[in-house]
């Protein structure tokens, strides 16, 4: 199936994507994307979240448009514009860095040092075979892109830590590479050196979750915030690692 073709969605597909909806109105729909689902353009022969937007298509063929992406194995909040004007407005907000994103990651071993701070390390893209990687760039590298991440430790022990992340920029794999660069790669991240087991359990996937997204609403009503709960697989890893799940309080 070509990605430009309208996919055939089963009743189960439609029910699945509708169950992902966190918030919706006339201009936007926010989804809780599960790990394992590509945002768009995946090489595997399976539906992407972009394909599933046909479940919300109007009779004229217009459908919600993704405003940003999450890696295939990252779970959490992802935003779409329901109309072309809304998508255009939000796209400009992304370019102006007006979206405020909050992620949760389980890292190992232990808490970063210092426990909170900023990683300001430019990144460059490298191609190895059919795979793309990001690397911390050397000073003065003409192909480097600026990249900044704010972080703070929410819970930690000698083996692992739960870290809150706020990307200032939005480079590919930024959070993964920045955490690896300070010696605390994300658990389950085989590409960038993350531990594949924790607390006697195998990591089921990359332990990175887009917990919260704040964005300027296209209708001019100001900033809106959408949150996605910690998924069950990540909660299980937190428990096995002896870390507290930060439920019951806002994540800023």
User: Peptide bond preceding 24: is omega within 30 degrees of 0, i.e. cis?
Assistant: no
Indicate the DSSP class of residue 40: S
Beta-strand runs (E) in 201-241: 201-202, 208-216, 223-227
Rounded alpha-carbon distances, angstroms, from residue 39 to 50, 69, 153, 231, 238? 6, 6, 28, 18, 25
Catalytic pick among 32, 71, 73, 233: 71
Both tokens of 209, joined, read 């979750």
**Cα 193–Cα 195–Cα 198 angle in degrees, nearest 5:** 170
User: Peptide bond preceding 114: is omega within 30 degrees of 0, i.e. cis?
Assistant: yes
Element housing 76 (H / E): strand 75-81
- Assess whether 71 carries a catalytic annotation: yes
Residue of 187, 193, 191 whose CA lies nearest to 205: 187
Answer whether 159's CB lies under 8 Å from 241's CB.
Answer: yes
Antiparallel, parallel or unpaired: β 201-202 and 197-198 = antiparallel
Q: Which residues are catalytic?
A: 71
């Amino acid at each position: 199936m070509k990605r430009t073709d309208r996919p055939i969605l089963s009743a189960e597909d439609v029910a699945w994507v509708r169950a992902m909806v966190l918030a919706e109105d006339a201009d936007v729909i926010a989804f809780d994307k599960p790990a394992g689902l590509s945002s768009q353009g995946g090489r595997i022969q399976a539906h992407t979240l972009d394909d599933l937007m046909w479940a919300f298509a109007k009779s004229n063929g217009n459908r919600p448009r993704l405003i940003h992406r999450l890696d295939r194995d990252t779970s959490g909040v992802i935003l779409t514009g329901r109309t072309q004007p809304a998508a255009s407005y939000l796209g400009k907000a992304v370019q102006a860095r007006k979206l405020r994103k909050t992620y949760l990651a389980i890292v190992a071993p232990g808490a970063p040092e210092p426990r909170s701070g900023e990683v300001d390390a430019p990144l460059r893209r490298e191609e190895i075979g059919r795979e793309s990687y990001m690397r911390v760039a050397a000073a003065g590298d003409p192909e480097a892109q600026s990249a900044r991440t704010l972080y703070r430790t929410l819970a930690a022990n000698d083996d692992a830590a739960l870290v809150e992340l706020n990307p200032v920029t939005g480079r590919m794999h930024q959070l993964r590479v920045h955490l690896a660069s300070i010696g605390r790669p994300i658990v389950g991240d085989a590409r960038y050196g993350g531990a594949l087991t924790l607390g006697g359990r195998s990591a089921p996937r990359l332990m990175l979750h887009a917990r919260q997204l704040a964005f300027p609403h296209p209708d001019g009503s100001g900033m809106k915030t959408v949150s996605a709960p910690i998924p069950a697989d990540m909660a299980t890893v937190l428990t096995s690692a002896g870390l507290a799940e930060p439920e019951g309080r806002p994540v800023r």
